[in-house]
Structure 1
Amino acid sequence: MGVLVTVLVPLAIPAGGGPAGADRGLEGVLQRACERDPGLFRALVIPSDGYVLIPLLLLGVLWYARRGDLFAAGFLLVAPELAVAINTWALKPLWHRHLHHYLAYPSGHTVQFVAIATGFVLVAADGRTRIAVGVTAAVVLVPVAAGMVGLGYHHPTDIVGGAAAAVALVSAMYLGADRPRRR
């Protein structure tokens, strides 16, 4: 599903870049709200910043390593950042959607946030923990997305594509890495 969404979203993007039809209404509402309280919108995007995500990721790596689960520690160390690299060096240039002076689709902040969350979901020891991590990430992603759109960093479709790409990439890496381990 993630691959399908990542590939289909660009079909809705106008040839010149700009917002898709689905982007316009939400962008207008959020950007007007941001004009009234830009500080709030800057605060909303903080959970997607590297200075928050990387220490969280490293804490997870250390926690799993200390527990002796070297597969989980290694997977968390490599997979999310490899997803970011694939997004930056392959997916963004492939779709070439510009916003301001940068390539915006799929959203790199969203890929990093969702890739780390997906990594934690996949290495979790039990279903209850997987659900808790997944729900927490989804709940946090909503205001982060609102902040990115309100501040004009991304169109909503950039965020949808980034989330889908991250889930697809990290899940594929997990399947590829976990299969030999189970043998």
Structure 2
Amino acid sequence: MTRSTAHPPDTPARQAALPALILAAVIVTLVVPQFFPADGGPTGFDTALDGHIHSSFDGHQWLYRVLVAPSNNYIAIPLQLGSAVWFAYRRQWWATGFMIIGPEFAILVNTFALKPFWDRQLHHYLAYPSGHTVQLVAIVTALALVSASTRARITLVVGMAVVLPAVLVGMVGLGYHHPTDVIGGTAAAVAMVTALYLPWRYLALTRTPPPPR
């Protein structure tokens, strides 16, 4: 298959795994708010983890800013655009489009639907699901989904598993979010991007001409 038509392998395991991933992520997104107090404040889990983080790291405030950095626009947006440019260079236009549209779709739905629906107030903004978390996880999820390399997908998943707890510590330490905001943001991003990916990939496959013999 040429560079312009390369798609991730469509194995039976992958066909079953993606819907299961969507379902699990949706369940997490919906279940987490069931534990919010009536005023939308911290849960018992939030309070316990928040106290542990502050008691451990408040003496090093700079560390919070370092840990939260991957979720900031100056890292997330170049990662998104750089990935889109890379796929465009390889003439994988369906992947290029998804790298642009997929994360933006998740961000918009989160901003205008999910946050107002749960209406969890923190300071002067709606906190659940965490917008910075949705942005970062949506970009990485989109990149993992469109990558044809199993090694690349594994690397991205492992990397995100390492980065997200660090981001959580930074956000909690700086007072930006409760831990459950980050957990819900992670699940919501995975659910939305993967749900959009399935029809996107189907349309890309049906519109791609067969390779020359």
Q: With structure 1 as the length reference, what TM-score do the two structures score?
A: 0.97
Unaligned runs of 5+ in 1: none
More off after superposition, 29-38 vs 96-105: 29-38
Aligned pair partner of 2:132 in 106, 109, 125: 109
Alpha-carbon distance, 1:43 to partner: 1.3
Asked whether the equivalents of residues 33 and 150 of structure 1 are also in contact (C-alpha less than 8 Å), the reply is no
Q: Tell me the distance in 1 between the aligned counterparts of 2:84 and 2:149.
A: 17
Q: Tell me the distance in 1 between the aligned counterparts of 2:53 and 2:118.
A: 25
Match of 1:11 in 2: 34
Moved over 3 A (4+): none
Alpha-carbon distance, 1:81 to partner: 1.4
Residue 97 of structure 2 is aligned to residue 74 of structure 1: yes
Residue correspondence of structure 1 range 1-150 to structure 2 within 5 A = 1-150=24-173
Query: What is the alpha-carbon root mean square deviation over aligned residues?
Result: 0.9
More off after superposition, 61-70 vs 22-31: 22-31
Match of 1:159 in 2: 182
Q: Deviations over 1:70-92 (max 9, x none)?
A: 01111001110110111011000
Q: What is the DSSP-based 3-state SS (H/G/I as helix, E as strand, rest coil) of the residue aligned with 2:58?
A: helix
Unaligned runs of 5+ in 2: 1-23, 207-213
The letter of the residue matching 2:169 is: A
Asked whether the equivalents of residues 83 and 111 of structure 1 are also in contact (C-alpha less than 8 Å), the reply is yes
The letter of the residue matching 2:89 is: R
Match of 2:4 in 1: none
Q: With structure 2 as the length reference, what TM-score do the two structures score?
A: 0.84
Q: What is the DSSP-based 3-state SS (H/G/I as helix, E as strand, rest coil) of the residue aligned with 1:32?
A: helix
Asked whether the equivalents of residues 31 and 151 of structure 1 are also in contact (C-alpha less than 8 Å), the reply is no
